[in-house]
Amino acid sequence: MQFSKHRPDSVTIARILSVCGELKSLMLGKEVHGQVLKKNFECIHFVSTEVVTLYGTCGAIDHAKSVFNAIPIKGSMTWTAIIEAYGYENRCQDAIALFDQMRSGGSNPNHFTFKVVLVICNQAGLVDDACRIINLMHHRYIIKASCRHPILQLAFNQQVGLQICDTKQILIL
């Protein structure tokens, strides 16, 4: 691209960051992050979110947190990216704390955020946190469960030994 005098725009850069994350190519991702800074793309919300996601998926949680902290206005996708980054590192309690910090700071989680947090709770066996979060999802944020959420809810119910009727009650919430 650069040899042909075509300059990548913010959408192209965000996609390249995403591919670097998928490939777990931290070194290449850092180079692309350098281009983000050089072109002042870090002020573009979806680009900075992709940088956080890149570092999170590559296991560079300190870099992810540093980029996250530098973002002045954090949307739900940015919060979701950093929460998921902590989940990748099995720092599940920290991820739940970030979820709570997100909410207390006035940001509203979306269905992607809830999916990420519930997956983290499921992997870590955080049944009480999962029940609290499912309750928030249904009652405070009025987010209906996607096809993935009931599966997570059923997994939690199996872990704590709930009966089928209790499972149906939770799914109806």
Tokens 């560079």 found at: 60
Task: Identify the pLDDT of residue 146.
Answer: 64
For 16-33, write each residue's pLDDT tens digit.
999 999 999 999 999 999
- To the question of pTM greater than 0.75 for the whole model, the response is yes
Give dist(CA 108, CA 56) in Å, integer: 21
- State mean pLDDT over 88-110: 97
161 falls in which pLDDT band (50, 70, 90)?
low
Q: For the chain, which residues make up each domain, given as ranges? A: 1-73, 94-173
Residue 5 main-chain phi, psi, to 5 deg: 70, 5
